[in-house]
Chain A
Amino acid sequence: MTRTPVLTLALALAAGPAAARTVGPDALLRESLFGEVKRLPAGERPVVGLVLSAGAVRGMAHVGVLQVLEDAGFPVDVIAGTSMGAFVGAFAAAGTGAARLRELASKVTLSTGSDLNKVRLISMLLSDSLLSSAGMEKVLTAELGDKRFDQLPRPFACVAMDIRTGEKVIFRDGPVAPAVRASANLPGIFKPVAYRHRWLVDGGVVDYVPVDAARLLGAEWVLASVTEGDFTYTNPTNVLLTLEQVIDIRGSILSRQQRREADALIEPSVGDVSFYETSRIPEVIIGGMTAAAKGLPAAKESLALYSMPRLWRRWSAR
């Protein structure tokens, strides 16, 4: 035997995963009750809503969150999203699996779904004209087809803002693609979308964590994935960074209030990722997965506790 395998073996014995893991009473009961909740017949189990927040590139963390929820068999009955949360949520509601979503996310660049690129950004600043997000509809249609909300396997809603009135507009019917485009239509960068007699921009400025939209869809218990920006991290030095900073601050203020309306939270640590850092998407997705894996036990516990009256009704009827 050569020296290297001896050392490798010694290292394995010294540092390998030798410790036996035991599962404690809390974890055992959590898994047991969560299993019982999942087995409740349709109509008895609480309607579970998944809310995906705004956050531009940070919102790609929702893909990681969806992956963990899918692996854990976590029930999701309705989905609501704003901005990037609407974009990811539309795919999830249409039945696109997390693996496919990761594949799609890996191809996203700065100009995916829009005519945004560095040259265009410069011309935008010089000519004082906004860019178009029309490509976003094409991306959605290419993957999902011309789906309407009522054709999606899971109920879905997304939120935009009418820039003329400041109203929050929750879309739950009609074609999916224009609604999602409007929801993710970053103000100050893209032209407002003219749709249904409204002039629409990104819903993140009025409904960053759209728990209310999920409740409108009938969600009784809501899990929210929040990809808030850490606006204390940056020191804006140009027009775009200043705009991003203002949107992030507004989002954070909204999020502080809206997150309280959710029953459980997953908060990926992606606060330092800027709106335009598409090169960090793989890292952002991992951030989503890590946060979801960490937050999943608490989410299961919360759902089990919420379901206790129904579990008891079921048990006492047997």
Chain B
Amino acid sequence: MVRALKLLALCLLAACAGRGKLAVDPLAPERALFAQREFARCAAALTPERLAGLPRRARADGRALLARSLDSDGRFDDALAAYQYGATLHPKNLELVSGLAWVLHRLGLDDRARPLFERVLAIHPNNASGNLGLAEIQRSQGDLASAEAHYETALTEAGWRENPTVQRDYAELLADRQRFDAAARAVEKSLSLARTPEAYITAARIERRRLRVGDAYARLGEALALDPGREEAHQQRALWLLEDSRLPEAAAEAEVLLAKAPGAALARWVRGVARARQGDLAGARADLAAAAASRRENPFVASAALALLKELHDAAP
């Protein structure tokens, strides 16, 4: 019995030693370069000869590291090619397939990215990156219920749960699903991770949709406190003031934008409508005509201005 136990202990020790030997990372030098953000050098180091010389198990990791280095270095075409080649050689490697899917998604090729994310989830249903990618695609394709389910799986992983952008996107999705209280909680989580103007603007829109008008203006104010020049926040505030019939304030908000860009079409629209509703039809026509001239940059603002001009044409001078 004692002999048998000694033998077992010996075997275990041998196994641990073997494992220790395997745990040596053959890609350690390249990973160090990547960690130092030396992406070009990392990519250059991973030559075809170097990749071919790697132990078999490390080759897929090597190809994934090469593709990521190229991607991080801004060589998107090369990165795409590297991911495609890698995913062809190693079709079950989650990093390569998922990486390829993300690159395709970023390029707007969602029809090609979607089956790759689905392949990732077929291999590993709880893979956070695959769930997040699919959630983003489904959201853009209008399948909000499925997107919500995938976001929730992705957010079970700490890395994504603590990512303020993902939390903000999730909040926007929940708001689109008319689940405003949950959306408010998600955007608060995003703000607790990073107080960005984008997150404050999202929070403002959610408050507005919850009919908490005062809170919505307050949140926009916080976005502008962080970034006083943020056009989107000024534009949004101007439109809300107009919707709320706070006409002088809407015109004043438009003036802020026009001081920076006198031709700003949306600001012209806001001031034009405010003037028209206050009886200044001549002033309104001038503003709306300027907005209507921005057909190339802002086709809808221009069309709306034209349509309103037509109405004003029949109104008293």
Contacts and interface: CB of A to CB of B under 8 A. Distances in A.
Interface of A: 3, 5, 7-12, 14-18, 20-26, 28-30, 32-33, 35-36, 64, 67-68, 71-73, 99, 286, 289-290, 292-293, 296, 301, 304-305, 308-309, 312, 315-316, 318
A32 B160 CA distance: 32
By secondary structure, the B interface counts as: helix
Contacts of B299: 26
Given A11-B99, A12-B129, A17-B132, A318 B142 contact: no
25 contacts: A5-B159, A12-B129, A12-B163, A20-B196, A20-B198, A21-B198, A22-B232, A25-B235, A25-B301, A26-B300, A28-B266, A29-B239, A29-B266, A30-B300, A32-B240, A32-B242, A67-B143, A71-B144, A72-B176, A73-B178, A286-B141, A290-B141, A293-B142, A305-B304, A312-B308
Contacts of A312: 308, 311-312
Interface residues of B, number: 62
Interface stretch (B1-9, B13-21, B45-53, B269-277): B269-277
B64 A7 contact: yes
A70 to B, nearest CB: 10
B166 interface: yes
B59 interface: no
B68 interface: yes
A68 B265 CA distance: 30
Interface in B144-176: 144-145, 159-160, 163, 165-166, 169, 176
Contact of A318 (B64, B103, B159, B277): B277
B253 interface: no
A305 B65 CA distance: 51
A185 to B, nearest CB: 31
B88 interface: no
B151 to A, nearest CB: 11
Interface in B88-107: 95, 98-99, 102-103, 106
B313 to A, nearest CB: 11
Contact of B159 (A12, A30, A33, A296): A12
By secondary structure, the A interface counts as: helix
Contacts of B159: 5, 8-9, 12
Contacts of A3: 25, 61
Given A7-B64, A9-B159, A315-B276, A25 B311 contact: no
Nearest to B172: A21
B298 A64 contact: no
Interface in B272-317: 273, 276-277, 298-301, 303-304, 307-308, 310-312, 315
B165 A16 contact: yes
A83 B100 CA distance: 41
A15 B106 contact: yes
Which of B140, B142, B160, B298 gathers the greatest number of chain A CB atoms within 10 Å? B142
Nearest to B110: A290
B217 interface: no
A71 B177 contact: yes
Given A22-B232, A290-B141, A293-B141, A15 B301 contact: no
